[in-house]
Amino acid sequence: MIAFFTENSSEILLKTWEHFYISMIALLLGVVIAVPIGILLSKTKYLSKIVLSITSVLQTVPSLALLALMIPFFGVGKVPAIIALCIYSLLPILNNTFIGMRSVNENTKGAGIAMGMTPLQSIRLVELPLAIPVIMSGIRLSAVYVIAWATLASYIGAGGLGDFIFNGLNLYKAELIIGGAIIVTVLALLADFLLSKLERWVTPKGLRIEGGRL
């Protein structure tokens, strides 16, 4: 096991980096797409139901199948992998953005409007800051999923830590499978930890001390 890490150290670093950036680009795209859509959906009544059910259905497509489906459209390599993973990351972020925006206290929103906020100001100054903790937990969830599923991206030639695992499967080398899996797990945990730090940082201070008296 230790031999696996020492002998392949440079390759491990490379593959880990590949794995990391495929996942992060997919996640970032997911955030950029899902958060604005989630905000818009929170302002609609019927459309939100339709869109959220479509994304739920997309979520149930087996990940391997989705990756394979990418090939006729985008070929093999990193691009189709990133697109597929991005689709996967959408639902938790979209869902949480929607719920976070909807669960902002009606009174607080009402107060903002009564003070003379435009709908856009209400989103920017009131709803979004208050929804941040919920949105962030959606992003964290997506990050863990995406890192785990990025392993499969190796199947369509995107590289990453999946290469070790698939090689291990082909060559009957348990240490490759286990070593790869360990690194994927550590990477997922690390990403979750870093994002939890980010969550603390972007959560407005007033929300963190809720209930705490001075």
Residues 92-121 that bind another protein (CB under 8 A): 107-108, 110-118, 121
Please, what is the Cα angle at 111 between 106 and 117, to 5 degrees?
Answer: 110
Among 10, 60, 72, 213, binds another protein (CB under 8 A): 213
Rounded least distance, CB 197 to another protein, Å: 19
Q: Which is nearer to another protein, 112 or 179 (CB)?
A: 112
Rounded least distance, CB 213 to another protein, Å: 6
Q: With contacts defined by CB under 8 A, name the span among 71-79, 82-90, 182-190, 203-211 that binds another protein.
A: 203-211
Distance CA 147, CA 29 (A): 14
Residues 126-185 that bind another protein (CB under 8 A): 126, 129-130
212 binds another protein (CB under 8 A): yes
Both tokens of 170, joined, read 């082909």
| Residue whose pair of structure tokens reads 């607080």 in the numeric block | 108
57 binds another protein (CB under 8 A): no
Both tokens of 33, joined, read 């797409």
CA quadruple 6, 167, 140, 75: dihedral, nearest 10: 130
| Rounded alpha-carbon distances, angstroms, from residue 139 to 46, 49, 116, 132, 194 | 25, 21, 32, 10, 12
Rounded least distance, CB 125 to another protein, Å: 8
Q: Which is nearer to another protein, 197 or 213 (CB)?
A: 213
Q: Is 72 helix (H, G, I), strand (E, B) or coil?
A: helix
Binding site for another protein (CB under 8 A): 107-108, 110-118, 121, 125-126, 129-130, 204-207, 209-214
